[in-house]
Amino acid sequence: MNLEPVDVLAFGAHPDDVELGCGGTLARLVQQGYRVGIVDLTEGEMASRGTVAERRRESAAAAQILGARWRHNAGLPDAHIQNSRENQILLIEVVRQARPALVFLPYPSDRHPDHVHASNLVKEACFYSGLAKIAPGLDAHRPRRLVFYPMTYEFTPSFIVNITDTFETKLKALQAYRSQFFNPNWPGPETFVSSQWFMEAVSFRARHFGWLAGVKYGEPFWVREHLALEDPFPILTTNRM
């Protein structure tokens, strides 16, 4: 494993998680000149539709659409993500090589247990990555902030990112997962995420949070800390009352 340093690192439990939770924001950050990397903890091998080989091709295509510098798979077992020291060290090595300032990760409360376990594992690995005596060999590095994105369950956001200009990019990245999301021509059973209703809900959620922020499409995020604004004027005067 030899990962190029990035400004932003997004973690997901499964391939397609980051596209759903923060794909529009990642694409916007790329447009603004920031380097973005993606880490999938598992290969999604327990999914009801598609194969691991198909998912690999789909996730690579989606990363290219978003403009990510690279995409790495940690190879943890799907439906059995554990917050063990062994797994923490795997992610510590990723964080120390990538050296991101921002880390995006799933919100710690969700319908899918993998998302909950992934959130806790990534959160702890990012903290321990800053302790030089844990897994010595790579220079210690702790990201400046963890930014949590929603999957199924929502939360009161700390802030909403305007993804109006990159919402179509988010949809194209999701459509790269032809085996997973709505695709009438795919020969597999219909699941929660493969229904037409689910894809409509993706658009509805983006419109909903965009409406709350006074823009067309938005993605919500939660951070544990309070945010201090050096110059609040440009932010507070951007959107309508």
Give residue limits of the domains in the chain.
8-236
pLDDT of 101 over the 70 cut: yes
* Mean pLDDT confidence for 101-118: 97
The two tokens of residue 92 are: 């510590």
pLDDT of residue 187: 81
Q: Which pLDDT tens digit goes with each residue over 161-209? A: 999 999 999 999 999 999 998 888 888 788 888 889 999 999 999 999 9
CA dist 128 and 89 (Å) reads 9
pLDDT of residue 27: 98
* Mean pLDDT confidence for 7-35: 98
pLDDT of 239 over the 80 cut: no
pLDDT of 241 over the 70 cut: no
pLDDT of residue 190: 85
Nearest alpha carbon to residue 150 among 177, 198, 116, 196: 116
| 240 or 111, which is more confident | 111
CA distances (Å), 9 to each of 26, 37, 203, 220, in order? 9, 5, 24, 17
Q: According to the CATH classification, is domain 8-236 in 1.10.150.120?
A: no
Contact (Cβ atoms closer than 8 angstroms) between residue 39 and residue 9:
yes
Computed over every residue of the chain, the mean pLDDT equals 95
Nearest alpha carbon to residue 104 among 147, 142, 145, 42: 147
Q: What is the pTM of this model?
A: 0.96
CA dist 220 and 38 (Å) reads 19
Q: Pairing relation of β-strands 218-221 and 159-162?
A: antiparallel
The two tokens of residue 54 are: 């198909």
The two tokens of residue 83 are: 């917050």
Q: Which pLDDT tens digit goes with each residue over 65-97? A: 999 999 999 999 999 999 999 999 999 999 999
pLDDT of residue 194: 86
* Mean pLDDT confidence for 214-236: 94
CA 20 to chain CA centroid, Å, is 7
The two tokens of residue 75 are: 């190879």
